[in-house]
Amino acid sequence: MFDDMLQQLVSLTKVDQVRYFDRMVHHGRDAGNISDNEAKRLIIGANARLAELMMAREQRNPPIRSYFPIRPKSQQTRQQAASGNRDPKRWERKRRLGGLAAVPPTEDYEGFTEGQRAVLYIIAADMREKGSCRCTHAEIADRAGVGQTTVRNTIREADRRGKIKVKQRPQWRNKWLSNVITIVCRSWMNWLKRFRPNLGLRSKGVKKPTSTDTHGQERINGQPSHNRNDGPSGVFQTFARRKPPSG
């Protein structure tokens, strides 16, 4: 029993678990299930384990022997990590969409970065074309040329300011559907209607492809194929009625 409790002590990763283990050791000693020397060793180990967990909590480090592996801390700062190599196509797309003035130049929309304005452009474009934005965070990030974290921060900030409305679509025992994002700010909608009437990613000047389906008795140009004057039509016709001879 002592070996089992010692292995259990090593696997504890929470402070409450260690304190509950300490109480169980005292109860086991009082009940006579473990000896005094074994209880003393377990209590010393529990105190040492508690000290390790408290130190990890103060230093904001993951607990020792945690379920998740400890990732080595990077030596780069946030500025150095953010200034790494980027995809030139995504970078150009973010700068182009961020500078198209998809939001009105008022004080209510100040503070949004270039990447966040690119995200708002995608939301506004879908709002104009489809009535709402139903894309996932990954789809919005790819279209705007930014990361998914930027998309989440932009949606959260715009929702906090009351510019958009986010409707979640949970499913029972299934993956949730993408959120439905709609613009509820009237000044933003008026700005899009007045100053940005052609906002969107809709392609223009594309010819409709010719259908490969069978057209039945009609030609591709819509004219019937059986309308001929130089011969029979080729379709089923009823027999002509003949008047019975009289007399």
Domain of residue 129: give its range: 88-195
pLDDT in tens, 191-206: 888 887 777 645 343 3
| pLDDT score at 70 | 59
> Between these two residues, 58 and 215, which has the higher pLDDT value?
58
Would you say residue 221 lies in a domain?
no
How far is residue 29 CA from its own chain's centroid?
Answer: 54
DSSP reduced 3-state for 126: helix
Least confident interval from 37-51, 179-193, 208-222: 208-222
- pLDDT value of position 247: 52
Please tell me whether residues 44 and 121 are part of one structural domain. no
Give the CATH number of the domain where residue 107 resides. 1.10.10.10
Mean pLDDT of the chain: 77
Largest Cα–Cα distance in the chain?
137
For 178, which DSSP code?
E
Comparing CA positions, the residue from 201, 163, 208, 206 lying closest to residue 185 is 163
Q: Are residues 35 and 109 in the same domain?
A: no
Q: Which residue has the higher pLDDT, 123 or 232?
A: 123
* 138-184 residue pLDDT tens: 999 999 999 999 999 999 999 999 999 999 999 988 889 999 999 99
pLDDT digit string (tens) for 45-69? Answer: 888 888 888 887 777 766 555 545 5
Domain count, the chain: 2
pLDDT at 35: 83
- Identify the helix (H) or strand (E) that includes residue 149: helix 148-160
Cα distance between residue 5 and residue 43, in whole Å: 11
Judgement on whether residues 96 and 37 belong to the same structural domain of the protein: no
Give the SS3 label for residue 218.
strand
Global confidence as pTM: 0.52
Assigned domain for 76 exists: no
For residues 94 and 183, membership in a common domain is answered with yes
Domain end, chosen from 177, 195, 213, is at 195
**Element housing 17 (H / E):** helix 15-31
Q: What is the pLDDT of residues 70-100, one digit of tens each?
A: 567 778 887 877 777 778 889 999 999 998 8
* Whether 148 contacts 141, CB under 8 Å: yes
Question: What sign results for the dihedral spanned by CA atoms 21, 47, 7, 10?
Answer: positive
Choose the weakest-confidence range: 49-53, 201-205, 236-240, 243-247. 201-205
